[in-house]
Amino acid sequence: MNDKWEFYNDAGTKWRWRRTAPNGNIVGASTEGYSNKSDCEANARRNGWTDTDGSDERSETMTQKEIKDEQKELRSKAFAQYKEQGFIDSADFFLWLETGRTQRDSLRKKHHAQVQSLLAAVIVLLLIIAAILTMQLYKQTIPVTLSDRSLSALKVMMVVIDPKEDEKVVVFGDTHFDFDESALSNEAKMLLDYDVKSLKENPKMHVRMAGYTSAKGTDESNQQLSEQRANSVRNYLIEQGIAPERISVVGYGRTKPALFEITPGDNESKEALANMRVLFEIVVK
């Protein structure tokens, strides 16, 4: 036997369908009502119904009976509530229902207004925080001050933003350090080996090692540390066969951070870790 398909009107006079297996179990049904029966049938087709499937034409009549039974049950419950509340006549009862509905609407509107007020307060607070952080960023910008040694080694930087087709661009990576350290780790040396290869492939290229630090510490100590880091990288490149005259150094201390440190005293923050580095700068001789 095939499954039975039924098309009927629900309590809201919307068309629906349901599919019943031969054993009486409902194996499918529409999840929404449709104003037109044709739309309901189209949805049923998408779920496996064909015009040849047996559909119960009496289902509409049966459903109308179910609707009447449902309405009868609702009236019975309403009458029981009417008696329970002790209303004298139906006018008082309906007034009571309307008052309850009005109170619910009022509470809903009040809740909506409270939510809007809360959202507005959150937006204003976020704007204030953004303004404060912006002011702190400008206030904590430290002027660039280089040591005499750094100024003597300073040359013209060349940054290739939009290289031509016949130009060869060499990209170097940063070398990072632990807090208050200038010694190269084994991992840093492995990464520098790739840069050594690039320098050997481009013998006319001159580079400058630019050292940086995090915000923690004094200007003087950070300036010195940044130069030590730059020299550590320079010395390693020389050990690997790069001519010393091709490499110069410069120390920026904490004056040119890669990332702004919101909490300068936290040397484990991602911003501080990003700032403790030595950067390759390509220079024009």
Reading the chain (285 residues) residue by residue, the pLDDT tens digits are 688 999 999 888 899 999 999 898 988 999 899 999 999 999 999 999 987 765 544 444 445 666 666 667 666 766 666 667 665 555 665 666 667 667 777 788 888 888 888 889 999 999 999 889 888 776 655 444 444 433 333 333 334 334 445 545 455 767 878 777 878 888 888 888 988 988 898 888 898 888 888 877 888 888 988 899 889 999 999 999 999 999 999 888 878 787 777 777 777 787 878 777 777 777 644
Task: Give the alpha-carbon dihedral of 14, 15, 21, 27, to 10 degrees.
Answer: -60
Write the DSSP symbol of residue 173. -
Query: Do residues 188 and 175 make contact, with C-beta atoms less than 8 angstroms apart?
Result: yes
User: What are the pLDDT digits (tens) for 76-133?
Assistant: 766 666 667 665 555 665 666 667 667 777 788 888 888 888 889 999 999 999 889 8
Q: Give the list of residues 6+ apart from residue 108 with CB closer than 8 angstroms, or none.
A: none
Q: Give the list of residues 6+ apart from residue 70 with CB closer than 8 angstroms, or none.
A: 11
Task: Determine the Cα–Cα distance for residues 13 and 35; give it in Å rounded to an integer.
Answer: 8
| Residue-level pLDDT at 47 | 92
Please give the single-letter amino acid code of residue 32: E
157 SS3 class: strand
The answer to whether the Cα torsion of 263, 264, 265, 270 is positive or negative is: positive
Task: Determine the Cα–Cα distance for residues 15 and 285; give it in Å rounded to an integer.
Answer: 83
CATH class, domain 4-82, is alpha beta
Please give the single-letter amino acid code of residue 147: S
Query: Do residues 7 and 44 make contact, with C-beta atoms less than 8 angstroms apart?
Result: yes
Q: 201 is written with which tokens?
A: 């492939």
Task: Determine the Cα–Cα distance for residues 275 and 242; give it in Å rounded to an integer.
Answer: 26
The pTM score is: 0.39
Task: Determine the Cα–Cα distance for residues 209 and 235; give it in Å rounded to an integer.
Answer: 10
- One of 1.10.8.350, 2.40.50.180, 3.40.1280.10, 3.30.1330.60 is the CATH number of 148-284, namely 3.30.1330.60
Output the furthest CA–CA distance in the chain (Å, rounded): 107
Looking at the chain, list the stretches that DSSP marks H as alpha helix, in order from N- to C-terminal side. 37-46, 59-84, 90-139, 148-153, 186-201, 219-239, 270-275
Closest CA to 5 of 66, 61, 59, 85: 59
Give how far Cα 162 sits from Cα of 127, 158, 206, Å: 37, 12, 20
